[in-house]
Amino acid sequence: MNFKKELAAILHELLNQEIPESQLEILIEKPKNAEHGDLAFPCFSLAKLKRKSPNVIAQELKLQIQSETFEKVEVVGGYINIFLNKKLVSEKLINKVIAEKGQFADLDFGKGGTITIDMSSPNIAKPFSMGHLRSTVIGNALALITEKCGYKPFKINHLGDWGTQFGKLITAYKLWGDAKKVKQNPIKELLALYIKFHEEAEKDPALEDQGRSWFKELENGNEEALTLWQWFRDESLKEFSRIYELMNVGFDSFAGEAFYNDKMERIVNLLEQKQLLVESDQALVVDLSEEQLPPCLIKKSDGATLYATRDLAAALYRKENYHFDQSLYVVGHEQSLHFKQLIEVLKKMGYEWAEKMVHVPFGMMLKDGKKMSTRKGKVVLLEEVLNESIAMAKHNIEEKNPNLLNKDQVAKKVGVGAVIFHDLKNNRMNDIEFSLEEMLRFEGETGPYVQYTFARACSILRKADYKADALPLSLTNTWEKEWKTASLLLDFAPAIKRACENHDPSLVAKYIIDLAQAFNKYYAEVKILEENENLTARLALVYSVTVVLQEGLRLLGIEAPEEM
């Protein structure tokens, strides 16, 4: 249901087919002000071709545009303003929602294509940071949005599970570790050991050598080292899994950095064959001065491979095994240089598909304007944050709706949804200020606000005992107040498409805020349940709003409770 296209087709004919339809379609706008109609076509670019003023062209076209889809046509200063036929368009739209339900606004332009999404990717034995939270939330939404557009998303958790820090950790564990404590509270204990290692190493530098030699053992496959490493990894992952479960996020692969241990030699050989490796400070690097970037480090003097080497191996592995059409990396903007280098090195190797790799960066999470990594010297544990948010949501529910059944379930959906929505409502490049109070408000642009709107609409439908098959509609002229909400249903699919193309879930979040606001305004103005001829149609509109709000929230990874 694309009325821009319909208008473009009419204009195409009226302009003697001189301008391609697609070009006309691009020119058509949605007026900011509803008084200027639903669609606007600026005639300025036609002036040269027609040798007439834009205003005269607009006047002439106005007289000729005839279609039952367009109820009124006006000319204002070189623009043709078009008013859609409210009755006809609403009927079509609402009927479509009733017929398609959750599949409403499904798109197919991505059909058959695979998109790998490198997301979350926390580091073993370290706390799950706010940056990892952002990556998880944005990556998960992008998976859902790209899937809605017909793509097959493949979510990869590129765990930070290898590197010299594991040598240090093994050393520290062997000196001071306690298996029971690690089992109980893995990340906290392992982090404490890691910190202790650094404190002690300042007094006794020999510890550093021990750490290095344990890492060598690990790289050489020493059984004791490997067993400890595997155990640290398993325990950390168990803890991360609790967070993923709370947030309802799953992965298709947990192939982390260690997975590429046996796949890097090939990369080094390929680089050598292609004569791309040069020596610099006893290390092997790829020179990127032509690309105006610093050299990309491939191998250190002691033979150890690096983050970039692993990512080169991972990129190749993903291309060969998943045949991606796009490969996204949802990682904070601090790593922009790394991904630029990665893509340039692959291009130098002759891989055209490197063009299809996209770094999807995002801003920082701030607390009182500062980077949010510590709180009173302690690390902010994400699980604590989520649980705190759930507890606050529960408190709000106790106050507002003490008789609600399943309070805990609802509190979880609201508490977690609030954190996710807060993250996704702004353009991802913006830094965001972390505030639980703000996130959990029922008014303003929050997750609970949208969820609450959904629940309110559901309650109207319950009261009316509405069944979604109540067709056909019969609208009368009093459909003016409904129009804003009804016409917004038209914008859902375009918002999804743009979110997919720009890798920006905030476009979906903003859309559902607009819809929720329009609906609440309508709800305040109109007695929806009043018996009269439009009752069925009004209920069908309310139903359509529930379908779209629920689906919009789902695309962000947020659940919508029917009561709250």
Residues contributing to the site for ligand ARG (CB under 6 A): 118, 121, 123, 158, 160, 311, 314, 329, 331
Rg for the chain, CA atoms, rounded: 28
Residue 235 or 257: the one with the smaller Cβ distance to ligand ARG is: 257
Q: How far is the CB of 115 from ligand ARG (least distance, A)?
A: 15
Q: How far is the CB of 263 from ligand ARG (least distance, A)?
A: 14
Residue 315 or 432: the one with the smaller Cβ distance to ligand ARG is: 315
Helix (H), strand (E) at residue 39: strand 39-42
Q: How far is the CB of 146 from ligand ARG (least distance, A)?
A: 18
How many of the other CB atoms lie within 10 Å of CB of 270?
Answer: 16
Residue 177 or 361: the one with the smaller Cβ distance to ligand ARG is: 361
Residue 120 or 453: the one with the smaller Cβ distance to ligand ARG is: 120
Sheet holding 152-156, edge to edge: 152-156, 114-118, 326-330, 357-360
Residue 311 or 445: the one with the smaller Cβ distance to ligand ARG is: 311
What angle (nearest 5°) sits at the alpha carbon of residue 411, between those of residues 409 and 416?
105
Residue 87 or 158: the one with the smaller Cβ distance to ligand ARG is: 158
How many of the other CB atoms lie within 10 Å of CB of 224?
Answer: 12
Residue 166 or 479: the one with the smaller Cβ distance to ligand ARG is: 166
CA 330 to each of CA 357, 377, 388, 507: distance values in angstroms, whole numbers, following the listed order: 11, 28, 26, 17
Q: Are 32 and 81 in contact (CB under 8 A)?
A: no
Q: How far is the CB of 125 from ligand ARG (least distance, A)?
A: 12
Residue 118 or 189: the one with the smaller Cβ distance to ligand ARG is: 118
| Helix, coil or strand: residue 416 | helix
Q: Are 540 and 473 in contact (CB under 8 A)?
A: yes
Q: How far is the CB of 530 from ligand ARG (least distance, A)?
A: 56
| Residues in Cβ contact with 12 at an 8 Å cutoff, skipping those fewer than 6 apart | 19, 20, 21, 24
Residue 235 or 482: the one with the smaller Cβ distance to ligand ARG is: 235
How many of the other CB atoms lie within 10 Å of CB of 33?
Answer: 8
How many of the other CB atoms lie within 10 Å of CB of 430?
Answer: 12
CA-to-CA distance for 228 and 176, rounded, in angstroms? 14
Q: How far is the CB of 381 from ligand ARG (least distance, A)?
A: 16
Which residue number has the CB closest to ligand ARG? 160
Whether omega before 472 lies within 30 degrees of 0, making that bond cis, reads yes
Tokens 């499904």 locate to 106
Nearest Cα residue to 235 out of 197, 187, 303, 191: 187
Q: How far is the CB of 211 from ligand ARG (least distance, A)?
A: 20
Residue 122 or 211: the one with the smaller Cβ distance to ligand ARG is: 122
Residue 305 or 396: the one with the smaller Cβ distance to ligand ARG is: 305
Characterise 158 by phi-psi region: left (phi > 0), alpha (psi -120 to 50), beta (else): beta
| Helix, coil or strand: residue 433 | strand
CA 549 to each of CA 109, 144, 393, 460, 561: distance values in angstroms, whole numbers, following the listed order: 23, 15, 20, 15, 11
| Helix, coil or strand: residue 72 | strand
Residue 253 or 517: the one with the smaller Cβ distance to ligand ARG is: 253
Q: How far is the CB of 431 from ligand ARG (least distance, A)?
A: 17
Residue 24 or 357: the one with the smaller Cβ distance to ligand ARG is: 357
CA-to-CA distance for 496 and 103, rounded, in angstroms? 13
Q: How far is the CB of 235 from ligand ARG (least distance, A)?
A: 18
Q: How far is the CB of 197 from ligand ARG (least distance, A)?
A: 19
Q: How far is the CB of 132 from ligand ARG (least distance, A)?
A: 6
Burial string for 400-415 (b: 16+ CB within 10 Å, else e) reads eeeebeebeebbbbbb
Q: How far is the CB of 344 from ligand ARG (least distance, A)?
A: 15
Residue 331 or 545: the one with the smaller Cβ distance to ligand ARG is: 331
Amino acid occupying residue 79:
Y
Handedness of CA 516, 521, 524, 530 (dihedral sign): negative
Q: How far is the CB of 365 from ligand ARG (least distance, A)?
A: 14
Tokens 């204002």 locate to 76
Q: How far is the CB of 230 from ligand ARG (least distance, A)?
A: 18
Tokens 């020999």 locate to 206
